[in-house]
Structure 1
Amino acid sequence: MLSLLIGFSFYIPAFIANGSGPFVRKGTPIDRGKNFIDGRRIFGDGKTFEGLLVALTFGTTVGLILAKFYGNWWIFVSFFESLFAMFGDMSGAFIKRRLNIPRGGRAILLDQLDFVIGATIALIILGIQINIYQFIFVAIIAFLLHIMTNDIAYRLKIKSVPW
C-alpha cells in the first residue's frame, strides 16, 4: 500500500495542473482558431495559453512542496510532468475533435486518463520508476476524482457540464 501512495505522490503535480484549467474562463486558444486538415478545430477554444500557464504554475508550485521529500530536482520534475500532463490533455482534445466530439462533450476514459498518460511519459523520460500497480492505482484515482470534481465544479457553476 505504501508503494501505491508513493506512486500517487509522484503524480500530484499532474493532478493539480490538470485541475487548474477551469480557473481560466477566457483566453487565447493555443490553436489560434485554426482548423486541422479535416476541417475541424485542432484543439478548440478550451485549450488556451493562459490555461497552460496557470497549469504549469500550479503544478510547479506543488513541486516546491514535494522537493522537501524528494529533493530540489523535483521542482523541475513537477514542471516537466505538468507540461506533459497538459500535452496529454491537449492530445485528448485533439482526438475528441477528430471524433467530432465538441468541446465539453463526453469521452469516457479519454477525458479521465489523457493527462495521466502524458504525466507517465514525462516520469519515464526522467527515469522515475513507476510500476504497473502504481499506474493502475493512479488511473483509478484519476477516473474517480475526475467524475467527483467535475460534478462539484458543475454545481458551483465553474463548469458548464458535469463531466
Structure 2
Amino acid sequence: MAANGAPVALLAGRKGTPIDMGRTFVDGRRVLGDGKTFEGLLVGLAAGTITALVVAALVSPALEMQTVVLTGFVSSAGAMFGDLAKSFFKRRAGLERGERLLLADQLDFFLGATLFLTFCERCVKPVLESFVAGLILIPLLHALTNYIAFKLGLKSVPW
C-alpha cells in the first residue's frame, strides 16, 4: 500500500512527467494519462522499499538486509506495474482518470506485487493466508485511506 499511496500523498498537486509522454494508443486514447508520472513511479518504488525496511526491522529483524531491500523493491515494482496496467485497461475502456472501476482500483497494486514476488527467487514469498487476508483487508483499507486523502484535499474523488 505504501508504494501505491505515497505518490498521491507526497506529490499531490504537482505536475510531473507522464510515463506515456502524452502518447496515444491505436484507439486514439492516451496510453496511461497524466496521472501516471515518472516522479510518482520513483516515489512509489522508494516508499515501498523503505516501508519494507521499517516493517522488517520491527517484525523480522533476523532477515538479511539484502533480502528485505530486494523484497521491498520487487513488491513495490509489482504494485506500480499493477497500477499502470489497470490504468492502461481503464483508458481502453474509455474511463478517465479518477473514474471508478470497482475492485480493480483496490486490488491492482496488491495483485501486481504478489505476482512479482511469486517469480522472485530471492524474495520473501507471500503465503496463502496473507494473500487471502490481503484480498479481504486491502479493499477496506484502500477505501479508508482514499477517503482520508479526499478529505485532506490530496485527491479530487473519495475513491
- Structure 2 distance, partners of 1:146, 1:66, is 19
Q: Which residue of 1 aligns with 2:20?
A: 31
Q: Which residue of 1 aligns with 2:85?
A: 91
Output one character per residue of 1:113-162: Cα deviation in whole Å (capped at 9) or x when no partner: 00011100111012444343321211221100111111111111110011
Can you give the 5+ residue segments of structure 2 that lack an aligned partner in the other structure? none
Q: Which residue of 1 aligns with 2:3?
A: 17
Output one character per residue of 1:58-106: Cα deviation in whole Å (capped at 9) or x when no partner: 1111232244323211111101110111000000101110111100000
Hey, which bits of structure 1, 4+ residues long, moved more than 6 A?
none
1:49 and 2:38 matched: yes
- Structure 2 distance, partners of 1:51, 1:145, is 21
Q: Which residue of 2 aligns with 1:76?
A: 70
Paired AA for residue 40 in structure 1: R
Q: Which residue of 1 aligns with 2:158?
A: 162
- Which one of the candidate residues 106, 129, 133 is aligned to 1:133? 129
Q: Tell me, what secondary structure is at the counterpart of 1:108?
A: coil
Instruction: Quote the sequence identity (%).
Output: 48
Query: CA offset at residue 21 of structure 1?
Result: 1.8
Paired AA for residue 137 in structure 1: A
Paired AA for residue 20 in structure 1: A
- Structure 2 distance, partners of 1:110, 1:97, is 13
**Alignment check: 8 A CA contact 1:21 1:55 kept:** yes
1:108 and 2:94 matched: no
The count of residues paired between Structure 1 and Structure 2 equals 149
**Alignment check: 8 A CA contact 1:63 1:76 kept:** no
Q: Which residue of 1 aligns with 2:148?
A: 152
Q: Normalization by structure 1: what TM-score?
A: 0.86
Aligned pair in 2 of structure 1 residues 97, 17: CA closer, same or farther (>3 Å)? same
